[in-house]
A and B are shown apart, each in its own frame.
Chain A
Amino acid sequence: MTRVTLTINERTRGADIAPRTSLADLLRDTHLLTGTHLGCEHGVCGACTILLDGAPVRSCITGAVACAGRSVRTIEGLAEDAVVAELRAAFTAEHALQCGYCTPGMLVTARDIVLRLPGADEARVRLELAGNLCRCTGYGGIVRAILRVLDARRGEAAPVRPAPLPAARFAPRLRDTGAGTGVMDPATGAPVAAPDAGPDGAPDRMRQVLMLDVPADQVWAAVRDPVLVVECVPGARLLSRQDDRLVGEMRVSLGPIQAAFGGEATVEYRTDAMSGRLVCRGQDQASGTRLSGEAEFHVIPDGAERCRLEMDMRYALRGPLAQFGRGPVVQVFATEIARTVGASLQARLRGEAAPAPPARLGAGRLMVRIVWRALKRLVSFRHDG
């Protein structure tokens, strides 16, 4: 627990809270200021908007610990506020609420519009309201209510221009051009291109072709060995295997994003064609993100000593992770993984040391760790050839 003391509605309040506590939960659960509403809890709906040192902020994505020593004003603390009093009357006159869930956040935002943008027209009011969702009114009444208050206050003193930020001196430093500029091949450090999305522009399909300096029959034998394949997935670890059943979990990290997918898979092999099909399904327990995918793979000889491993993949990401891993991001990331698998597979088949970076995709300090972990789901392989 952490002791946090701050000013809430002009009173000094202290509380012992878990460090993860949001400002909204501190206000609602500890201080019973339930006028601050929680809608989405990820900074989109605006219902939890309060004033922090006089400026509107989302209390659901503001950590309470970071507010120590600062001044918070909630809707309860605006009961006597002159602008909010005018807004309340205007909201009533214009039918600017129905269920009332969004209203505390709407009033805090509306007050900010009135004080900061006294010349706002309807278009500007609508733009400024874009961060506060209302599912009842269609916004017409809310916009009219705010315009009514703006009109009533026309001709009053212009808002005070906020003071310039203080001057500072930043010492010059040596220029270092960095290593960024795109996706890096984990094996070579060279920029790589992701495959194009499908012809219809759907970002959930991709085609990956790995050129391997290994004879086709060796690659085919390797592809048929799930233990070997899993070991080639960056950081992958197989925890147990019963006959054809493999058990594991895959841990992914991309910058601040982490996921641990437990899943099950079925593989069919068509030996005469050196091709096959993989179907898999997994879930990240902590976030509830679900991942499902299918891959057709095909080993094609290219002379006696080389071959191509072609994969056509289709996948679907559903749930919280999909909100951050927008289509192209997932696709480029999947490409990085596939390339690492290819490099690792080739190295193993040629008896070379596996390339170092399975544990480190990209050139940044943020490691991309992909580790099979925890036995949550069964992975079963079915052979038919």
Chain B
Amino acid sequence: MKPVAFDHDCPVTLEEAARLIARPGARPIAGGQSLGPMLNFRVARPDHLVALAALAGLTGVEDTAQVITLGAATCHAAIEDGRVPDLPGGVLSRIAGGIAYRAVRNRGTIGGSLCHADPGADWLITLTALDASVLTWTPSGGRMIPLAGFVTGAFRTVLAAGEIVQAVHIPRPGPGFGWGYVKACRKPGEFAHAMAALLVDPARGVRRLVIGATGGAPVLLQGVRADPACVGDALAGSGLGRVERRMQAVVAARALAQATNGRVMPA
């Protein structure tokens, strides 16, 4: 189907973009790989689309010993192709390479994916496990919001009107960290029916398990609760049925096996 009629604004400064997206009926769009289908199905009917992907303030990367910061408009394919700094073992590249299809990864952006807040989105689940934050921009300064507190429910975030996600702040885990990410899809590239990401970071005493593809925000389990055995209970209020909860426990166990690679790691 064709989308409803809307205006399509292409601001060139962050100030202009912030003003335009704050209007009633306005919707920001980055790569549009999730919003595009919603527009074509007419389940999204904005009055104004405001293009953010070409804004200079949302591009580029910053790499330090502690943190990788990626501009929000960085597309998945650039991360997949190693055009940005990565964590040891190509963690980010592998996540990016598993998102949808290459033609989608060439357009879709890391910031747009987080802001869309689909409960089944790869970056939302994995970056929450990696304890990443978004850096937002507003005319008065902006803030740093940990992803664990960023999403309030399916397709909803804590962003204020006119607040723009400018970059994604990904802390580097300590030496010898373990990482696992497993999702259950019937076909490569489809939305997952169950997904689990697990960070085991003994040097920092951190253990974070995140369950996705629920009815709402990612479910974060930390410390001793970051264990596949706790998944069933943790999902009691997730809107998932018994079969789905079982699938979630299975992918969590596989993520744990990946992260620990057979080793026993302290909780």
B13 touches A (CB below 8 Å): no
Nearest A residue to B27 via CB reads A256
Interface contact A329-B44, CB-CB below 8 Å = no
A330 and chain B: residue at smallest CB distance: B215
Residues of A within 8 A of B241 (CB): 196-198, 200-203
B155 adjacent to A61 (CB under 8 Å): no
State whether A254 touches B149 (Cβ < 8 A).
no
Shortest B227–chain A CB gap in Å is 19
- Tell me whether B38 is interfacial, beta carbon within 8 Å: yes
Tell whether, in the assembled complex, residue A182 and residue B153 are in contact, meaning their CB atoms are under 8 Å apart. Answer: yes
In the bound complex, do residue B153 and residue A286 qualify as a contact, i.e. CB atoms below 8 Å apart?
A: no
Determine if B43 and A180 form an interchain contact, defined as CB atoms under 8 angstroms apart. Answer: no
Q: Does A83 contact B (CB under 8 A)?
A: no
Task: Please tell me if B100 contacts chain A, counting CB pairs below 8 Å.
Answer: yes
Q: Closest chain A residue to B142 by CB distance?
A: A173
* Distance A43 CA – B40 CA, assembled complex (angstroms): 10
Asked if B156 is at the interface (CB within 8 A of a chain A CB), the reply is yes
B-contact 0/1 string along A139-165, CB 8 Å cutoff: 000000000000000000000011111
Q: Distance in Å from the Cβ of A270 to the closest Cβ of chain B? A: 30
- Which of A125-133, A346-354, A373-381 makes up part of the contact surface? A125-133
Instruction: Judge if A363 is at the interface, Cβ distance under 8 Å.
Output: yes
**Chain B's nearest CB lies how many Å from the CB of A365?**
5
B37 and chain A: residue at smallest CB distance: A42
Residues 171 to 185 of chain A near chain B (Cβ within 8 Å):
172-184
Task: Write out, one digit per residue, whether chain A residues 197-225 have a CB within 8 A of any chain B CB (1) or not (0).
Answer: 11111110000000000000000000000
Interface residues of B in 1-44 (CB under 8 A from A): 1-8, 10, 27, 29, 32-33, 35-44
Q: Which residue of B lies closest to A322 (CB)?
A: B43
- Is the C-beta of B200 less than 8 angstroms from some C-beta in chain A? no
A-B contact count (CB 8 A): 316
A interface footprint on B110-148 (CB within 8 Å = 1, 0 otherwise)? 000000110110000000000001011000011111101
A326 touches B62 (CB 8 A): no
A339 to chain B, nearest CB (A): 12
Interface centre among B42, B78, B167, B243 (most CB of A within 10 A): B42
Q: Is the beta-carbon distance between A331 and B188 smaller than 8 angstroms?
A: no
Interface string of B219-258 (1 = CB under 8 A from A): 1100000000000000011111111100000000000000
Which chain A residue shows the least CB distance to B246?
Answer: A201
Q: Does B93 contact A (CB under 8 A)?
A: no
A328 B239 Cβ-Cβ under 8 A: yes
How far is the CB of B68 from the nearest CB of chain A, in Å? 11
* Chain A residues positioned under 8 Å from B144 (CB to CB): 172-176
Q: Is the contact region of chain B dominated by helix, strand, or loop, or is it mixed? A: loop
Chain A residues contacting B36 (CB-CB under 8 Å) are: 42-43, 58, 60-63
Check B149 against A165 for contact (C-beta < 8 Å).
no
Q: Give the number of residues in B that approach A within 8 Å (Cβ atoms).
A: 101
How far does the Cβ of B156 sit from chain A's closest Cβ, in whole Å? 4
Q: Are B240 and A328 in contact (CB under 8 A)?
A: yes
B62 lies within 8 A of A167 (CB):
yes
- What is the bound-complex CA distance between A194 and B237, given in angstroms? 5
Contact mask for chain A residues 60-78; partner B; CB cutoff 8 A; 1 contact, 0 none: 1111011010000000000
A365's partner among B29, B161, B236 (CB-CB below 8 A) is: B161
Contact status B6-A19, CB under 8 Å: yes
Assess whether B159 is interfacial by the CB under 8 Å rule: yes
Contact, CB under 8 Å: B38 / A324: yes
Q: Which residues does chain B contribute within 8 Å of A363, judged by CB atoms?
A: 152, 156, 158
Residue numbers in A under 8 Å from B199 (CB-CB): none
A14 close to B (CB within 8 Å) = no
In the complex, the answer to whether A180 meets B152 with C-beta atoms within 8 Å is: yes
Q: In the bound complex, how far is the Cα of B237 from the Cα of A109, in angstroms?
A: 42
Q: In the complex, what residues of A have CB within 8 A of residue B152's CB?
A: 179-180, 182-184, 362-364
A175 touches B220 (CB 8 A): no
Contact at B103–A56, with CB atoms within 8 Å? yes
Partner of A42, one of B41, B106, B107, B191: B41
A79 CB-CB contact with B under 8 Å: no
Q: How far is the CA of A132 from the CA of B32 in the complex (A)?
A: 19
B184 on the interface (CB 8 Å rule)? Answer: no
Q: Shortest Cβ distance from A128 into chain B, in angstroms?
A: 6
Q: Tell me which of B143, B236, B242 contacts A193 (CB under 8 A).
A: B236
B43 to chain A, nearest CB (A): 5
Tell me if B102 and A128 are in contact (CB < 8 A): yes
A179 and B155 contact, Cβ closer than 8 Å, known pairs A66-B32, A168-B62, A173-B144? no
Q: Beyond A130-B187, A131-B103: 18 further Cβ-contacts under 8 Å?
A: A19-B7, A20-B6, A42-B40, A61-B39, A66-B32, A127-B188, A132-B101, A166-B59, A173-B135, A174-B141, A177-B145, A178-B145, A321-B43, A324-B43, A328-B215, A332-B214, A332-B216, A335-B239
Residues in A lying within 8 Å of B, measured CB to CB: 2, 18-20, 22, 25, 41-44, 46, 49, 52, 55-58, 60-63, 65-66, 68, 109, 112, 127-128, 130-132, 161-170, 172-184, 192-203, 254-259, 284, 286-287, 289, 320-321, 323-324, 326-333, 335-336, 362-366
Q: Which residues of B contact A (CB under 8 A)?
A: 1-8, 10, 27, 29, 32-33, 35-46, 49, 51, 53-54, 59-63, 69, 71, 74, 77-78, 81-84, 100-104, 106-107, 116-117, 119-120, 133, 135-136, 141-146, 148-161, 163, 166-167, 169, 187-189, 191, 213-217, 219-220, 236-244
Task: Give 24 CB contacts A-B under 8 Å.
Answer: A19-B49, A20-B39, A56-B103, A58-B36, A58-B103, A60-B40, A63-B36, A65-B8, A65-B10, A132-B101, A165-B74, A165-B83, A177-B145, A180-B217, A181-B151, A183-B215, A258-B45, A320-B42, A324-B43, A326-B120, A326-B213, A328-B238, A332-B238, A365-B157
